[in-house]
Structure 1
Amino acid sequence: MKTIKALILGSAASLLAMGGAQAADLPVKVKAVEYVKVCSLYGAGFYYIPGTDTCLKIGGFIRIDTSFNSSGTYAVPFFQGAGLTNLRNKDYFQGRARANLNMDTRTATEYGVVRTFVNTQFQWSDASDGIAGGNNEVDFAFIQFAGFTIGKAVSQFETQWVLSRPTQSSGVTGGSDTTTGIPQLAYTASFGNGFSATISAETPRPYRVAGIYDGNDAIGVPGITAYANSNAGQQIPDFVGNLRLDQAWGSLHFAGAVHQVSASYNGLAGTATGENTGHPDDKFGYALIAGIEIKNLPTGVGDSIKADVTYANGASRYVFGGTSNTSGTGYGIFNGNGAAFGQYMDAVFASPGGAVPAADLQLSTDFGARIFFEHYWNPAWRTSLYGVYARHENTATGNAILLQRYNATFAGGITGDANFSIYQVGSRTSWTPVKNLTFSAEVQYAWMDTGLSGTITPTGFTNRTNPVVLGSQGTLVGSVQALRSF
């Protein structure tokens, strides 16, 4: 009995000792788990970054595009490039897959909200990339603080709705279109009731520089062969100012920009140029825009109409904007044995001592108008209609220089002037069967009026050997798109 009792007491003591040892190994206090919390201050999709007072939103999309008779993966007419000649070596359809990722952070401070935003694209196109190639781009990367915007963002010249126009195409003319951002330093003052004003200094290249042509240099067919650009380097930014009114019924927008037109050194074709040859005196061009948006029209809930008009002098890219045609190669449409083409530039001049009489910078004049209407048939279906007009005019001296150079290049026979106009009309229909998934199709007809007439043989271009008659031409393009946003 004593033996059994001793065993029981010994076992109990051992258990107590083991329990005490395990209790000593436990942490004194378990650290609380930091769960991600919803941030409702700035709209849906924001969360607090754990351990901070900064709200973060991550978004993006996957987009698949296929275009027909188009120079891009949207409904962009063959205004330039190999397909412009409209021969058998042209691709009649093109495809692209694009992945987008964007991040938006907001932090409340005593100076107001500090915001950072970055938008990046990763894409592959069958027209330009290898089998497993691709490329990436940074559309936007900016900081906003105490009214300042610093970095790559939409130009302050643009209307408020530049990123929400009801069209797939980024190849419409008739106005500015910095939809992939332009470096800037801007300050915005808000006065209440939706009224604000902004001043900005913006980098002109590549969006705003249309180029300068020296009449003693070579020139080719616009849209196929770029002229020898005599533009000087960037010296000062473009200065932009705007006034805006944003209210429930829509918005009003007025803006102006000042653009430096600066040529490099004088020099005849085939001769050296340098500081000893001199250069034309700099001039300043400008651009003006007025825009209006009206929401919730009587035609239906969600319907809207957007319109703007733009005028420019010595600042062609404010009218012939867009993410296409930034190389300054101009516009053209070839159909069989007919062709229309035109070269836009900020200015034309002629160096002294050449076949063309010397002339200082002759600033061009440009005018554009755009209108967009969108109608919602129901929450899932919507259709848009749009019309665009763009006009480029040279001075009388500028036209004389260009006409002489065209005749020298194409062995005479060209008459008229180098002014031209572009008209574009189009429609897009979209179907959103479920939230953030949209299928759409767009069709566009483009017409180009050229002031040039005559017959040329554009030798030296791939497979193009027959003469073409200069005159107005048109083309039809289309595209389809699948878009999944998140």
Structure 2
Amino acid sequence: MSRAGDFLLKLAALLALCGALSGSAAADDDIKALLGAMSRQIEDLKQQVAQSNQRIGQLEQALKVYKSEQQSPKANLVGAAGVQPVPASAAGAGNSKEKAVVTVGDTKGTFKIPGTDTSLGLGGFVKTDLLFNSVSAGRDRLGDQQLIMSQIPVGAAGERGQVTFLAKESRLWFKSFTPSEWGDVNTFVELDFYGDPATYSYTPRLRHAYGSFGHLLAGQTWTTFLNASALPDNLDVGGSAGALASLRQPLVRWTEPFTWLDTPMEGLLALETPRSRLWVDNHLETGTANRAAAGDPNLDAAYWTTPNADRYPDLVARLNLNPEWGNMSLAALGRQLRYTNSSNGYRQDAWGGGVNLSGRINTVGLDNIRFMAHYGKGDARYVSTTNTFADAALDSHGAIELSESYGAMLAYQHWWDKQWRSSLTYGFAQTDYPYYANPVLTRQVQSLHANLLWSPVSQAMLGVEYTYADRELIDGRDGVLQRVQFSAKYSF
């Protein structure tokens, strides 16, 4: 029984005793003894209450310090009691309940790294493709795995009725978000398995690797010249013949958001890695010319040189318009093309550039139109699929002349319902070379994509796509590719 209960019993006994012994002389001594005992118990109770109040105060102070640390994890301040906060690792050594735990991050799909403000996320997808090609691009070539316009064979060359299975487009990505007084520090890294063109080799390839600090981004990602949101929703990862190349390269970019006429806008300015891609007349040998005349499909870039003589970065500026009905962007590119010959000390250079208008416009329901239109001189590296056109040509005397490139892409995406959707995409691109350029260079390309995609849940997609692509050379010969592609994609 507690001391308070005992005290109450004695008090009741005292009252009873007083009633029973009223008027008795011996009762006085008994009452005095009982009152003395009760007085001592009252003092004990007062001490207990004081100790309890002191303990409650200590616990309340500790709770305040804990809440303060949770709201400001980076603070390393001395507590109100003058005791330095104990690190989670040290506290956990004595009590497993105090060990740091993983918590939900600041951004959906992320988690906090214990002891830091950094939110970390990871994800990706597994994608398997089954392709039936009307003609093969050649042994272990990317043209059998995705649309590469420059690898479409011309004439009678190429294996007919070729089948390819692959899962190279499967991806894995990591991202992080860390708040700071100077702005958010974010990173993103993404890999796929297209590092080796061999059909059955799965070499990891770096797609994106960049970090951003406030408005400044640095690393490898989509070129600023490309509005990636305008790319069509196709199963084929190679891209449309008329769209800009899906080019990812190292760059440094500043993005400045602003509002004009109540419309959100962005201004982007970037310095990007340069790479001149030239056709050189004296690189054409007799044996190579004979192979080209026979329609050898392995000569798509045999006449090009990419000299390591670039002196200035490519300069790109873009203006984004982001209204409620979609987005539009206008981009401009300026670059120097430069050629040197170490054997004779010859140097030649020229300045070129291009413009690009692209966007995505919402129509009815979830339907939308996506488009691109571009023109330039010396910007062929940014045009169409990989290695389709050359930026410029050098004649036998070393004079450099820029090629003129232009093209467009138009796609319409229709949602049959929330699970089924289709896209129809047409693209066209052409490059005009000087008269002395070799006639086996690609002059014009076009492609048509049509697909039907089914997503019963957000993490899964099954689809089928038909592709028609045509490649025409300067000499008038052409090659046609027809492809049926089945794909299964599972995201995580």
Aligned partners of 1:148 and 1:402: how far apart in 2?
A: 43
Find the residue that maps to 1:161 and give its secondary structure. helix
Among 165, 183, 198, the residue aligned to 1:128:
198
Find the residue that maps to 2:435 and give its secondary structure. helix
The amino acid of 2:412's aligned partner reads F
Counterpart in 2 of 1:437? Answer: 460
Pair 1:84–1:484, CA change in 2 (3 A):
farther
Among 215, 240, 247, the residue aligned to 1:147:
215
CA contact (8 A) 1:194 1:246 kept: yes
Aligned partners of 1:168 and 1:63: how far apart in 2?
A: 11
Aligned partners of 1:87 and 1:227: how far apart in 2?
A: 17
Pair 1:204–1:111, CA change in 2 (3 A):
same
- State the Cα RMSD in Å: 2.8
CA contact (8 A) 1:77 1:475 kept: no
Q: Does 1:227 align with 2:302?
A: yes
Aligned partners of 2:451 and 2:475: how far apart in 1?
A: 33
CA contact (8 A) 2:154 2:480 kept: no
Alignment of 1:72-91 (within 5 A): 72=143, 74=145, 76=147, 79-80=150-151, 89=159
**Superposed displacement of residue 85, structure 1:** 6.0
Pair 1:122–1:308, CA change in 2 (3 A):
closer
CA contact (8 A) 2:173 2:189 kept: yes
Aligned partners of 2:331 and 2:195: how far apart in 1?
A: 36
Counterpart in 2 of 1:37? Answer: 103
Aligned partners of 1:124 and 1:350: how far apart in 2?
A: 34
Among 100, 106, 112, the residue aligned to 1:48:
112
Deviations 1:28-67 (A, max 9, x none): 755424332223x43x212222221111111111110111
Q: Does 1:241 align with 2:307?
A: no
Q: Does 1:288 align with 2:340?
A: no
The amino acid of 1:448's aligned partner reads R
CA contact (8 A) 2:278 2:393 kept: no
Deviations 1:400-420 (A, max 9, x none): 3535xx7xxxxxxxxxxx772
Pair 1:309–1:223, CA change in 2 (3 A):
farther
Structure with the higher strand share, 1 or 2: 1
Deviations 1:256-281 (A, max 9, x none): 1112111222xxxxxxx6144x23x3
Aligned partners of 2:150 and 2:419: how far apart in 1?
A: 34
CA contact (8 A) 1:75 1:442 kept: no
Among 446, 451, 464, the residue aligned to 1:423:
446
Counterpart in 2 of 1:253? Answer: 329
Counterpart in 2 of 1:346? Answer: 391
CA contact (8 A) 1:68 1:75 kept: no
CA contact (8 A) 2:188 2:209 kept: yes
CA contact (8 A) 1:77 1:446 kept: no
CA contact (8 A) 1:77 1:476 kept: no
Aligned partners of 1:75 and 1:442: how far apart in 2?
A: 12
**Superposed displacement of residue 197, structure 1:** 0.7
Find the residue that maps to 1:317 and give its secondary structure. helix
Aligned partners of 1:49 and 1:75: how far apart in 2?
A: 38
Aligned partners of 2:432 and 2:370: how far apart in 1?
A: 26
**Superposed displacement of residue 368, structure 1:** 1.1
CA contact (8 A) 2:284 2:303 kept: yes
CA contact (8 A) 1:162 1:177 kept: no
Pair 1:367–1:124, CA change in 2 (3 A):
closer
Alignment of 1:445-464 (within 5 A): 445-453=468-476
**Superposed displacement of residue 176, structure 1:** 2.1
CA contact (8 A) 1:65 1:73 kept: no
Find the residue that maps to 2:438 and give its secondary structure. helix
Counterpart in 1 of 2:436? Answer: 400
Aligned partners of 2:353 and 2:449: how far apart in 1?
A: 29
Pair 1:162–1:142, CA change in 2 (3 A):
farther
Aligned partners of 2:423 and 2:182: how far apart in 1?
A: 41
Aligned partners of 1:213 and 1:171: how far apart in 2?
A: 28
CA contact (8 A) 2:278 2:394 kept: no
Deviations 1:159-193 (A, max 9, x none): 141566444331422232335x2100111111144
Among 78, 89, 97, the residue aligned to 2:167:
97
Q: Does 1:67 align with 2:131?
A: yes
**Superposed displacement of residue 287, structure 1:** 1.4
TM-score, length-scaled by structure 2: 0.70
Among 221, 241, 250, the residue aligned to 1:183:
250
Find the residue that maps to 1:400 and give its secondary structure. coil
CA contact (8 A) 1:166 1:372 kept: no
Name structure 1 gaps, 5 residues minimum: 1-26, 266-272, 331-343, 352-357, 407-417, 454-469
Q: Does 1:156 align with 2:179?
A: no
The amino acid of 1:313's aligned partner reads K
Structure with the higher helix share, 1 or 2: 2
CA contact (8 A) 1:75 1:479 kept: no
Pair 1:173–1:442, CA change in 2 (3 A):
same
Counterpart in 2 of 1:7? Answer: none
CA contact (8 A) 1:119 1:140 kept: yes
Aligned partners of 2:416 and 2:366: how far apart in 1?
A: 10
CA contact (8 A) 1:312 1:319 kept: no
Count, aligned residues: 380
**Superposed displacement of residue 95, structure 1:** 1.4
Deviations 1:362-412 (A, max 9, x none): 111000101111111011110000010101102xxx213535xx7xxxxxx
Pair 1:284–1:60, CA change in 2 (3 A):
same
Pair 1:52–1:171, CA change in 2 (3 A):
same
The amino acid of 2:182's aligned partner reads Y
Q: Does 1:390 align with 2:392?
A: no
Among 177, 198, 202, the residue aligned to 2:268:
198
Q: Does 1:274 align with 2:310?
A: no
Among 230, 252, 263, the residue aligned to 2:339:
263
Counterpart in 2 of 1:364? Answer: 403
Aligned partners of 1:360 and 1:61: how far apart in 2?
A: 49
Instruction: Give % identity.
Output: 23
Deviations 1:337-364 (A, max 9, x none): xxxxxxx31111223xxxxxx3611111
**Superposed displacement of residue 155, structure 1:** 0.8
The amino acid of 1:172's aligned partner reads S
Among 363, 381, 392, the residue aligned to 1:317:
381
Find the residue that maps to 2:274 and give its secondary structure. coil
